[in-house]
Amino acid sequence: MRALLSVYEKSGIVELGQQLVALGWELLSTGGTARVLREHGVPVREISELTGFPDLLGGRVKTLHPAIHAAILARHNHPEDLEQLAQYGFEPIELVVVNLYAFDRAVTSETPEGEAIELIDVGGPTLLRAAAKNFHWVLPVVDPSDYERILAELARGGPRSVPYALRRELAAKAFAHLATYDAQIAAYLRTEPFPDLLPLPLRKIRALRYGENPHQMAALYQLAGFPSQINRWHTVGEVELSYNNVLDASAAWQLVNRFAEPAVVIVKHVAPCGVAVASTIEVAFARAFDADPISAFGGIVAFNRPVDTPTARALAQHLFDLIVAPSIDREAEDVLRRRKALRLIFAPPWVDPPYVVRSTGDIALVQSPDRPVRPQESWQVVTTRHPNETEWRDLLFAWTIVPFVLSNGVVLARDGQTVGIGGGQPNRVDAVRLAIWRAGERARGAVLASDAFFPFPDSIEVAAAAGITAIIQPGGSRRDGEVITAAERAGIAMVFTGERHFRH
């Protein structure tokens, strides 16, 4: 029985080699793996002894030889395959332990092309692909966590005792390892942002208790090669994060990071329900909570400043599931940790990923992150009356928030505080009505932001009746003229940004 061991991730490889030798296996290896095994007294033969060739082309060719690949690819139930092996003096290889270095750890977009190309492995993937193809007779092993159960099966009765289901599982894992590796190389070489084929290497971050609902099994994956936001979170709390927690926390953290002044965002079901800025984080929290206390119940709160003790005491008076902040002082953490079900997340500043991936189940949308592109200088005041200084501040504030509201999205704001948010409605006038209903009397004197244009003037008429004084929207409707006329008639200042921000 012969095994070929050649691994980048060397954890457990010495113990594996020792136990294989104890079970009567002959070990073959190359380079660093052979050196590690010898340093620990594990007998191993160099591949060059079998091939009769030294490493060629500066190490580019080591294992690409029939003595290796015929030994791996031979079908043990085909007598002619075994006869050919014997004819050339080859013996079957029945276990191939190979894993490849994570290309994204060694290579970045800044790595010179010549250096990156030399880091593309050819022999390792070829060994692994051959073993995985012939998994009925050869065990392809890529994951060190599988060593123990493989050894248990081999100790029970040799390679023939390993059940088919496990062999197939190992082959699937090997091909996934290869696909991820190739996708990382393709990502480095790719120059077209949206090619016909876009392999996205996804690496599991963690298993989840469930997905969107308790009956749905789920796990979280990150785009390999790019910093995962969630992997950089430090979570404190006794209850594990769910997918919905992660989704809400990400939405809240992205939005709160868009404000320069102290800001607080409260999110419920991926949508903001209360947002405020203020001179201190304690006041910002009080105003964000006051924006919609009913919806805030059981929500997620994000702070763009460290949480101090007074703010923690105010937080402790209400029921929240999760708090996200850059940091928290010791006394404040002690105050909040008295709530056993509350989770705290300490997060570094949000960094947009290169791609945003959304799926309908059988197709995926891959797009760039939704960041405003058109500068404020390009915006156009389309009414006779221009916003005053206070209205401009609130229009900017509301326009920052509205991309995070489910479409049709409408935000009412006043004095750096949301007073009414309407989203997820099938028509825009109902979204306006919902936002006004939530605002109540606070709508009077507020400004309004809409994520897309108004198809009819009815929304403007409803807003005017509620006392809205200024509106910001993309413009672009065939009835823009009617919409502007309705705003003029009501004395509402209206600004066109020329940029839509749908969030479905």
Give every CB contact of residue 453 below 8 A, 6+ residues apart in sequence.
Answer: 473, 474, 475, 476, 477, 480, 483, 500
- Per the annotation, the verdict on 177 as an active-site residue is no
Euclidean distance between CA atoms 89 and 78, whole angstroms = 17
Kindly name the residue from 10, 133, 173, 318 that is annotated as catalytic: 133
Euclidean distance between CA atoms 44 and 2, whole angstroms = 11
Distance (Å) of CA 131 to CA 104, 128, 335: 24, 5, 56
Euclidean distance between CA atoms 493 and 382, whole angstroms = 8
Residue for token pair 């191939």: 96
Residues 68, 69, 71, 73: what is their CA dihedral angle, to the nearest 10 degrees? 160
Give every CB contact of residue 72 below 8 A, 6+ residues apart in sequence.
Answer: 4, 93, 96, 127, 130, 131, 134, 138
Start-to-end C-alpha separation, the chain: 57
Strand order in the sheet with 470-473: 234-236, 343-346, 322-325, 300-303, 263-268, 271-277, 417-422, 410-414, 447-450, 470-473, 493-496, 380-381
Q: Say which DSSP state 198 is in.
A: -
Count CA within 13 A, CB hemisphere, residue 447.
29
Nearest residue to 370 (alpha-carbon basis) of 383, 388, 385, 358? 358
3-state secondary structure of 277: strand
Euclidean distance between CA atoms 118 and 112, whole angstroms = 10
Kindly name the residue from 10, 76, 173, 269 that is annotated as catalytic: 269
Euclidean distance between CA atoms 255 and 249, whole angstroms = 10
Euclidean distance between CA atoms 65 and 48, whole angstroms = 10
- Per the annotation, the verdict on 173 as an active-site residue is no
Euclidean distance between CA atoms 236 and 307, whole angstroms = 14
> What's the Rg (C-alpha) of the chain?
30
Distance (Å) of CA 410 to CA 3, 113, 299, 427, 459: 64, 48, 20, 11, 11
Nearest residue to 399 (alpha-carbon basis) of 410, 388, 390? 410
Give the residue numbers annotated as catalytic, written as ranges.
Answer: 133, 269
